[in-house]
Amino acid sequence: MTSATHSTLFPRVPDSADAVLEGLDPEQREVATALRGPVCVLAGAGTGKTRAITHRIAYGVRAGILQPSSVLAVTFTNRAAGEMRGRLRQLGAGGVQARTFHSAALRQLQYFWPKAVGGELPRLLERKVQLVAEAAARCRLRLDRNELRDVTSEIEWAKVTQTVPADYPAMVAKAQREAPRDPAEIAKVYETYEELKRERTVIDFEDVLLLTVGILQDRHDIADHVRRQYQHFVVDEYQDVSPLQQRLLDLWLGDRDSLCVVGDAGQTIYSFTGATPEHLLDFRTRHPGATVVKLVRDYRSTPQVVHLANGVLAQATGRAAEHRLDLVSQRDGGPEPAFVEYADEPAEAEGTARRVRDLIAAGVPAGEIAILYRVNAQSEVYEQALADAGVPYQLRGAERFFERPEVREAGVALRGAARAGGNDPLLDHADGLSAEVRAVLSTKGWHGEPPAGSGAVRDRWESLAALVRLAEDFERAKPGATLSDLVAELDERAAAQHAPTVQGVTLASLHSAKGLEWDAVFLVGLTEGMMPITYAKTPEQIEEERRLLYVGVTRARLHLTLSWSLSRSPGGRPGRRPTRFLNGLRPGSTGPGGRSAPGAPGGAGVWSGSGSTGGSGGDGRPAGVRRRPRGPARCRVCGKTLTAAGEMKLMRCDDCPSDMDEALYERLHDWRAARAREIGQPAYCVFTDRTLMAIAEAVPATEGELAGISGVGARKLGRFGAAVLDICAGGDGRADDADGSRET
């Protein structure tokens, strides 16, 4: 191990308090040295807030101002707490407690319970869903698994907002919150759930905070004990504090003011869990003499990304907007964010996968690329597109589409209906395939109108609706297709999306991406109805959606692409509009007050829906190789306009006669199987069956003709083109790759 490697893995502990301050910028240094009285740090995305507060604690400890055991630093996730503890150890302040709110409260509750109440602390309920189900049954309510999850979330929200069962309906109305069931029913389940806990002598995670608050309020001797132990508090992500957590923090503090809070109102995106930025926004009102430091030097993103992020929040309204932070990038310039409009969702997914593949070919690691969307149900089309492009991926915060419980259940139901054939009384085969699918899925909770609000029920509906849309597209592409044909298609897609991955592109919802960052980020599906989401009705909810987009933009270090599609499926009516949050920011659009955005490529990085930027291959194709022109695609046999993606790939209707060279197709099929084994990837990563059919029908003789076939991108052209052209010319496909050697 070299000394450089050793210093990276085991950084040298600063040898003095002053050494702790080395490398901090002026504002970070101001935070680190502000050790007296209340301190409020307003820290924008990528500004080094964790660095600032850990150096502040370490400086205080190393200077002898703070005793390590007297400091309690609290945050919201175990990952963040662990990162904070690691940094403090590296800075020579290893004795400091860094915990989540729940962890700190549970530790105190376990210690003081025998003295305050007597006996052992009741057992902690790891998962409350089962007990909520029992409570619902006692109330004679039938709730499916997703309704149970949503009602459970409502109970959690009520408890962190300190709402008792009797007050729940009124609080829901006051908060303009979409309840998943009748509020009176939920209140009754909530009350019964609390009764069951008392009967079973168990507590839940919210009770940990509530009981700690109760003991500290009622037992002044115990409160004094805690306050003697902890004399200095640091709270990270303060914009996410709930009323209950704030109450606990107030009790920890007592009448002291040795508190440092860190947050950014512009990143408040969890209000549905009870989080509120009001405590951060009111901090200076509650603590008039507070030291306030703003961290706005962005070390994460390029000036181009930061400019767009600032623009997104510049149009915000409400209290959080009044306290927004204008970031200033500290990085060298990079590429302009790209705004891409596609004709339809499959084209958007394919275009995104193509661009991802090009970035990987240019040297960006797959693990440093993310595709972020608003809801998890959007992942399926991107899972498919990445699989077709041979790009490995990993999902964060959700199962792969075909592994989701509701999708698996739907698959079982569809297989059963397919096996029953004409004997299934549920199905009227005269209505067509998509009608059959809707009928089957209606038994699994799908219906034509989406449920109100968000939550597990909405997530389930979105997944089933994605299957319905897939069936509609499949029926258009293959008129006369049966339920068995669709099941086979679903099985093939599931197999494609389950390819083993090691290092892959991240697919994640915007909510689950908070706190993370990548070199390249693709924000997809940015249309009205998805961003902001349909069920965001109030001005406050709309503004939270804007902040969610801001969080997505600020995840990108260097490359940022924002895209939307004008229709759902190929040939559909182009009635969608890009999100209002990009008005005045995307080229050709007008923002508030008539402010226009730059309108030319090169100024703001506009791409056309095909991904072309002109010149020598904006989509990565070699100079002189052109993509098929956009516009209506027509069958080369009968001349009919094509709308289905599969037909457009073959450039003919599925029911028109094929002039495919069967022998050539078989040779290509055998070559593909051998090539896939050689590179250790599934066969579809070389070419899909439909692409092989298109090649066997076209029999290309030149690189340009091969590149004109849908499914043959620049990467596959360079990697497999010579071999494919050799096979088309009657050879055995052993021609060398473009770089002169086979890739292993």
- 552-586 confidence digits (pLDDT tens): 999 999 999 999 999 888 877 888 899 999 998 98
C-beta separation of 507 from 376 below 8 A: no
Q: What are phi and psi of 680, to 5 degrees?
A: 70, 35
Residue 613 confidence (pLDDT): 31
- 212-229 confidence digits (pLDDT tens): 999 999 999 999 999 999
| pLDDT range class, residue 666, cuts 50, 70, 90 | confident
Q: What are phi and psi of 558, to 5 degrees?
A: -130, -60
- 487-527 confidence digits (pLDDT tens): 877 776 666 554 444 468 889 999 988 888 999 999 999 99
Assigned token pair, 589: 């659009």
Residue 675 confidence (pLDDT): 87
Q: Measure the CA–CA gap between 528 and 335, rounded to whole angstroms.
A: 26
- H helical segments located in 478-602: 483-497, 539-553
Residue 289 confidence (pLDDT): 87
| Residue whose structure tokens are 């932070």 | 325
Residue 207's closest CA among 137, 158, 270, 246? 158
pTM above 0.75, yes or no: no
Buried b (16+ CB within 10 A) or exposed e, 377-413: bbbbbbbbbbbbbbbbbebeebebbbebebbebbbeb
Burial class (CB in 10 A: 0-12, 13-18, 19+), 487: middle
Which H helix or E strand runs over 338?
strand 338-344
- 373-415 confidence digits (pLDDT tens): 998 888 888 988 888 888 888 777 555 666 777 777 887 888 8
Q: Measure the CA–CA gap between 499 and 513, rounded to whole angstroms.
A: 23
Q: What are the beta bridge partners of residue 294?
A: 42
Assigned token pair, 90: 């590296």
Residue 504 confidence (pLDDT): 81
Residue 46 confidence (pLDDT): 92
Mean pLDDT of 157-169: 89
Structure letter (DSSP) for residue 652: S
End-to-end CA distance of the chain: 29
Mean predicted lDDT score pLDDT of the chain = 81
Instruction: Pick the more confident residue, 460 or 562.
Output: 562
Structure letter (DSSP) for residue 68: G
| Residue whose structure tokens are 């992942």 | 379
Q: What are the beta bridge partners of residue 292?
A: 40
Between 25-29, 47-51, 110-114, 614-618, the lowest mean confidence (pLDDT) is in: 614-618
Residue 388 confidence (pLDDT): 84
- 84-128 confidence digits (pLDDT tens): 888 888 888 888 888 899 889 999 999 999 988 888 889 888 788
Residue positions counted in the chain: 744
Which H helix or E strand runs over 420?
helix 405-420
Mean pLDDT of 1-18: 55
Strands (DSSP E) found in 66-188: 71-75, 97-100, 123-124
Estimate the share of the chain in helix, then strand, then coil, as percent rounded to the nearest 5: 50, 10, 40
Instruction: Pick the more confident residue, 515 or 548.
Output: 548
User: In percent, how much of the chain has pLDDT > 90?
Assistant: 32
Between 305-314, 616-625, 646-655, the lowest mean confidence (pLDDT) is in: 616-625
Residue 251's closest CA among 212, 279, 286, 194? 212
CA-to-CA separations, 266 to 43, 301, 311, 318, 708, in angstroms, rounded: 10, 17, 12, 11, 46
Residue 617 scores a pLDDT above 60: no
Between the ranges 77-81, 263-267, 300-304, 686-690, where is the mean pLDDT highest? 300-304
- 626-646 confidence digits (pLDDT tens): 333 334 456 666 666 655 555
Between 255-259, 553-557, 655-659, the lowest mean confidence (pLDDT) is in: 655-659
C-beta separation of 563 from 526 below 8 A: yes
Between 66-80, 474-488, 688-702, the lowest mean confidence (pLDDT) is in: 474-488
Residue 472 confidence (pLDDT): 78
Q: What are phi and psi of 31, to 5 degrees?
A: -60, -45
Residue 430 scores a pLDDT above 70: no
- 11-29 confidence digits (pLDDT tens): 577 778 888 888 899 999 9
- 280-325 confidence digits (pLDDT tens): 988 988 998 899 999 999 999 999 999 999 999 988 887 767 778 8
Torsion (CA) 152, 125, 246, 253 in degrees, nearest 10: 170
Could you count the other beta carbons within 10 Å of the beta carbon of residue 134? 15
| pLDDT range class, residue 208, cuts 50, 70, 90 | very high
Which H helix or E strand runs over 408?
helix 405-420
| Residue whose structure tokens are 């132990």 | 229
Amino acid at 92: G
Q: Please, which residues have CB within 8 angstroms of residue 263's CB and are 6 or more apart in sequence? A: 41, 42, 43, 236, 237, 238, 239, 240, 277, 280
